A and B are shown apart, each in its own frame.
Chain A
Amino acid sequence: MSSLLEVEDLVVRYPIPRGIVGTVKRAPSQSVHAVDGISFDLAAGEMVALVGESGCGKTSTAQAVMRLVDPEGGAIRFEGRDLTGLGVRALRPLRRRIQMVYQDPYESLDPRFRVRRAVEEPLAIHRLGGSGAEREERVREALERVELTPPELFLDRYPHELSGGQRQRVAIAAALVLEPVLLVADEPVSMLDVSVRAGVLSLLDSLKQSGLAILMITHDLSTAGRFADRIAVMYLGRIVEEGPAAAVVRSPQHPYTRALLSVVPRRDPRDRHTGQVLRGETPDAVRIPSGCRFHPRCPLAFDACRVEEPALAPSPAGHDAACLLI
């Protein structure tokens, strides 16, 4: 399977304004190292989950792929073309092929747009779909694909008349109407009620089966483990472990992944265990620790970890991890 999306050494930084005092004092300019050199790829019909805690850089990665932020370095190759250097005009036709689903279905739909108009808008923006009747047909098809059937029941509804799960489906339909080949899903179910999450995830799963590539951003390891093909665990702007979902979840290699997995609450009350609760919190991405960036919180850290930064390398379990112990 050749890759649809190849991200190589991606770097995203946000400069911190120095303010008047800082400028006068000529303080060194600082920046948030949101994403600090990550690489991964994604093939058609595959779902890759970027997993990590807030501030790990997963959302910045998604935004860079969408070209909503400009990366400072690295390449984002989509169908073999590097997106990073492209201008607005050259990006336009490509934007159609990469679509995004946002976290909050209550916010991502314009409250004054009926379902019909919300789903049709992307077509209007890209001047696609020809006549009104043709567009309507494409809108109906998109609604059917997201299982909002029959479409007549939904076309004239306003977002506030729909449940959270239905709204998220409308948002997905609005993404699908342009027939993208890559879907970036940013925490697609975290705002939804538990009872409807599985429905939306299964929908994404079936879209994937039909050939769509999906890059899912999530903090929920259970969801990633259950629905993604591959998982990349991020910590402080770096990928610390990457591999097939089942392998990462069942035999985690990096101490961070292990700790993270151990503290996810299980639904069986008999399976009570405290897990490896790490002390403290993720350091901020302005002052990144030397060496392995996880060493200040790592239960297994030794002297070399303070100096040497480990690279992603194959582990005994078969998938990649970035730890000096491997």
Chain B
Amino acid sequence: MSSVLIEAPTAPVLTRRGAVLRMLRRNPPALIGSTILLVIAFCAVFAPLIAPYGLHTQVGPVFGRPSWKHPLGLDDGGIDMVTLLMWGARVSLIVGFAATFVSMAIGGTVGVLAGYFGGKVDTILMRITDYFLVIPDVPLMIVVAAIWGPSLFHIVIVIGILLWTGTARVIRAQVKSVRERVYVKRARALGAGHLRIVVRHVLPQVAPLLIANTVLTVAVAIFDETALSFLGLGDPSRTSLGKVIENAFERAAISSGAWWAIVPPGALVALIILGCSLVGGSMEDALNPRLRVAHLSARTFRLRPLVGRENAL
């Protein structure tokens, strides 16, 4: 009697990992977004090797026009804009990812603790989250950056400690639902400790959501860094995209008609944010079934002729 149990596994349920891969393959926005990010990240990472000119080398006249040699022209110091953008993207991405890492660490921890333990822990942590949530980000960043002084490290910390609230809330909700799963209760009934349950059962379940959230947060962090740098609160020794824009602005690029010194860095920031949003948004769609609303489509089912299918009877 027992050996026949081998028969026929049920139709495959799609795993989450599979969902991400399939999403990339079948979802044009995600594909476009990840292509954009990969190209930019490649240029940024290998900037020292592939940048056409030196970052501090004057290669032509101040605000030199775009030419074949310098497709995006030169800046106020006669430095090649393409080179500048590669190095700028490098700093912006570093700040973006580092700040995101800080906010993920805080948001993830707060979310998991609040969701898993519930009760008073939840109430207290969520009230704190609420306070951070209602603080207007940019003004506080300006204040803190002004007090601490301009440095890349400070910017990372400032952005990091202000961006974690959304993550904390999303993760908390997800953990709350995972905590109620029977297999988590089973592990508890078995006598498993909290650490084990969180590491083995809860974290793997919320990790994809945390990653999707990370990608979305990177976009916000890069945007915030650009804003701070543009306001002159960035690290003066590092060339980020915001810094490039600020420089050009200060040196009257606009009145000189040197649009190429301002528009490309701005567009690059927009492109990075777009890429992150496309990828992060698609990942969230794929991971959060509640966001899927295909069944609300006005389309109805299709009819098929039975011709040529008589043998199926």
Contact = CB atoms under 8 A, between A and B. Distances in A.
The short answer to whether A and B are in direct contact, CB under 8 Å, is yes
Interface of A: 66, 68, 91-92, 95-96, 99-100, 102-104, 107-112, 121-122, 125-126, 147-149, 153, 157-158, 160-166, 169, 174, 178, 199
Give the bracket for the number of chain B residues in contact with chain A.
20 to 34
Interface stretch (B37-45, B51-59, B180-188, B248-256): B180-188
B187 A125 contact: yes
A103 B10 CA distance: 19
Interface stretch (B1-9, B152-160, B218-226, B236-244): B1-9
Interface stretch (B24-32, B62-70, B189-197): B189-197
A108 B186 contact: yes
Contact of B8 (A100, A163, A199): A163
29 contacts: A68-B188, A95-B189, A99-B190, A100-B186, A100-B189, A102-B185, A102-B186, A103-B182, A107-B181, A107-B182, A107-B183, A108-B182, A110-B183, A110-B200, A111-B13, A112-B15, A112-B204, A121-B187, A122-B190, A148-B2, A149-B2, A149-B5, A160-B12, A160-B13, A161-B9, A161-B10, A163-B8, A166-B5, A199-B1
A120 B261 CA distance: 62
A159 B205 CA distance: 15
B10 A110 contact: no
A293 B200 CA distance: 45
Q: Which A-B residue pairs are the 7 nearest by beta carbons?
A: A147-B2, A160-B13, A107-B182, A108-B182, A161-B9, A95-B191, A110-B183
B3 A149 contact: yes
Given A104-B182, A108-B183, A165-B5, A91 B15 contact: no
Given A96-B191, A147-B2, A111 B185 contact: no
B191 A161 contact: no
Contacts of B3: 149
A111 B18 CA distance: 13
A102 B182 contact: yes
Contacts of B191: 91-92, 95-96, 125-126
B176 interface: no
Contacts of B186: 100, 102, 108, 174
Contacts of A166: 5
Given A109-B183, A148-B5, A174-B186, 17 more contacts: A68-B188, A68-B189, A95-B189, A102-B186, A103-B182, A110-B200, A110-B201, A111-B13, A125-B191, A148-B2, A153-B6, A160-B10, A160-B15, A161-B10, A162-B10, A163-B8, A163-B9
A178 B190 CA distance: 10
Interface in B195-211: 196, 200-201, 204-205
A25 B146 CA distance: 51
Centre residue among A100, A110, A160 by max chain B CB count within 10 A: A110
Contact of A125 (B15, B183, B190): B190
B15 A111 contact: yes
Contacts of A148: 2, 5
Contacts of B5: 147-149, 165-166, 169
Nearest to A146: B2
Interface string B164-188: 0000000000000000011101111
A161 B9 CA distance: 5
B198 to A, nearest CB: 13
A158 B18 CA distance: 14
Nearest to A169: B5
Contacts of B201: 110
B235 to A, nearest CB: 42
A97 to B, nearest CB: 11
A306 B200 CA distance: 53
A121 B193 CA distance: 12
Contacts of B200: 110, 121
A104 B204 CA distance: 21
